[in-house]
Amino acid sequence: MCMIFPALANANKHIEYVIGVEDVNYFPLFNFNSKHPNQPSFAFDLLTAFFEYKQYKYRFVPLPIKRFDKWFIDHNIDFKFPDNMRWRADGGKSLDLTFSEPVLRLLAGTYVHKSKKDLTRLEVKTLMTIRDFYPTLWLDLIAEKKVELHEEPTPVSIVRHLLVKNVQATNIDENVIRYQLKKLNKSGEIVLAKNIFHEQYTYHLSTNTYPEIIREFNEFVKQEKQLIQMLKQKYEIKEPWEQ
């Protein structure tokens, strides 16, 4: 057995792992696109640090968000980031997915112009999100046609629509909103609607082929807490308890 494990380890060095990522600029969390897949972001820096630490060959493949649950089958990827069981109707069971421990904790909430900060859920009639994002907390009202869903390809366009009150709310991440507002010199103009239900969720790395590498990634995340904190500071990312 002692002879087998080093051989397996060496074999891994010759595999080029394919990391499926969402083809969208969702900076500072991630920023991937088909023409320039290696743009700096929290996700890019963290995953690069892990795969290079392990000396694994890898490449990022930006893919359309629509039907991302089929990526493992349709595009033959080895890993997906970010991923979460909440975005999958069956929790990933049909694909036998293995999810890493949480990498980043975020807040699923509803964000509105500051003048509308006291809106309740039933008062929201228009919601805007990234095209093909999964509006988990709004699926029921959208299905009942009580909320009209609008989609845009970029966070900056969503933020601009909210600033001029073309729509009432969005569900994109607060870190992404904060970054766009800072660029527009509009910091503080869009806020969390605290009267509307919100909850924490997490980013994970997932695979249906290499659970042993997920275990290695878990150990890396556990050991490199200082690196993760440094990346959060670099990209001005705040987790819910830091808001």
pLDDT higher for 207 or 70?
207
Judged against a pLDDT cut of 90, whether residue 210 lies above it is answered with yes
Q: What's the pLDDT tens digit per position in 106-121? A: 999 999 999 999 999 9
Domain span holding position 161: 110-197
Task: Give the CATH number of the domain where residue 122 resides.
Answer: 3.40.190.10
Residue 158, domain member (yes or no): yes
Q: How far is CA 148 from CA 106, 121, 143, 151, 224, in A?
A: 25, 13, 9, 10, 43
pTM for this entry: 0.91
Same domain as 205, residue 191: no
221 vs 204: CA distance, rounded Å:
11
Same domain as 148, residue 44: no
pLDDT of residue 243: 65
Task: Provide the number of structural domains found in the chain.
Answer: 2
- In this prediction, residues 43-63 reach a mean pLDDT of 97
7 vs 83: CA distance, rounded Å:
31
Identify whether the C-beta of residue 198 lies closer than 8 Å to the C-beta of residue 136: no
Identify whether the C-beta of residue 80 lies closer than 8 Å to the C-beta of residue 71: yes
Judged against a pLDDT cut of 60, whether residue 96 lies above it is answered with yes
Residue 3, domain member (yes or no): no
Residue 2, domain member (yes or no): no
